[in-house]
Structure 1
């Protein structure tokens, strides 16, 4: 009995050390893991579709091929239709900011000097921006020169882009076998619990990711159409950008409103069209609240907006761009694990007291079995 306990403890230590080593190696391999992470996300998102096709008699190989074919066609059509427009509008948007500086110098600064009596000088600000702009431009030029000389960074970037669909294809095709192999590696006495946790996490995570992607697309389309209808000539670029960053609460609206107000004021040289910009984003927020979020996401993740903002910022601080992308999915899984840990804690003797009997699952009240135990003790 003692040898069995000792062997079990040694195995747990070995598993813990192995997992810690795996995390450490993954951290150092982050620069080359990006195509695998993106490929895994793509496979995870489209696995339910391929599984449904498989149930209707289409093999996973053919189902995966069909998904990739349709996706490639949609991407090609989108590139042909949107890329020229986005390039033109983005260039037009970039040209807005020097014009904004001129307006600040010619209109805002004199008004502030006259109204408040504080003399401001925009010349120093302009010189500072020009100086730093030249420095940044020189750094970018040097970087591009080094890239063109060595070619390594370009080669790595191209290889990553080519690897993403390949990795996603094989993971999507072999998804059931990958899951089965992982399940076979689980300790038998814990397999049921781990599988149940994985299923709950998968349900929350899958619904949230697909729903949030749909909300981002819906927001981008809504903002783009609205801004274009009111005559903003950079409406598509601003609208799509605002939709893209709308996975962080209010960030898409704040950045979109700011950019659209500046662009519209430069374009129209009047304050009245700015009310139309505010109206577009107001309608977009109402649609997101009453239509997109309930329809596509619901309450799948159940995180407070402040917690969402913290999770995204923490992910970016720890793991960069991919940390931002994965912050909310990881938080969704941690919520599931946290709920099970809370249930286990509320069933423990430490929570209920030494003489309390076990509570039914999910019942954390102080009444019921705990009170009954006290009554029995008094009897």
Structure 2
């Protein structure tokens, strides 16, 4: 009996190649956690291909290269290597069982194996040095974005996906102008950001199709300290009107006036500031360049060192860990907020 005939017998939709692969992983005894990790990466690759109307079975080497190139803007090299290995295994398996004609990731992974350091040693930036860097950023939007990344550990895509409704602020000056914090999860939690895990590239969320995905599996409530709050209030005072019904928190003040910031826009102005500081050089790697992803590394390193509490940092980063979620979400208002506000570094 052929593979497809077997699929028909077990009620499987053979047209969904990713589901086919994940189901076979289950038959081979792979854990649910492993299958979820593969599924998330493969669905993001599928969403990337959908922009050009390409199915995974028809993707070629250049499609895969383009996806890997995009990943590098949001992730460390080690993460890019992991995601690429997932895609390579998917194509290798589907080729072996006769579902696909070939594996377009073969050459891509060979080139990456030669080029990627899976454990890069990053530039060491002290809090005092970062404080000087932030002082040089005067534009209200850029300053608010950089401080948000540095003080929350959000990924750049997660930051771009924030809507006004995802921010609760005890600030009468802006509360009168915006419908802040209307999420049910923010009720009774002033000065807090809500990061929604259910926002994916290519899908509509809050009335707007998104161009980036949130990379976390569970909702996260992130405290906003007085320093970040001041930057956000200053930004909201001059934020342009936007055509989006979703009311993005961060909107462009450049050529795409009023439109939601994209990860590439953020990377562009962060690169400009990093170049002026001598922290970015074209052609350099993650060990040398300061990028939006570096800010997440900075947050993790310094807050973990100051708190001595890996659990709080993991929760704020949105890392998937049931024990961490169970420990902190039921008592969020006391534990996470207390630890964060007592230890978060000052950058202004």
The normalised TM-score by structure 1 is: 0.25
Structure (1/2) with the larger helix percentage = 1
The normalised TM-score by structure 2 is: 0.27
The higher-RCO structure (CA 8 Å, 6+ apart) is 2
* Structure possessing the higher radius of gyration over alpha carbons: 1
Structure (1/2) with the larger strand percentage = 2
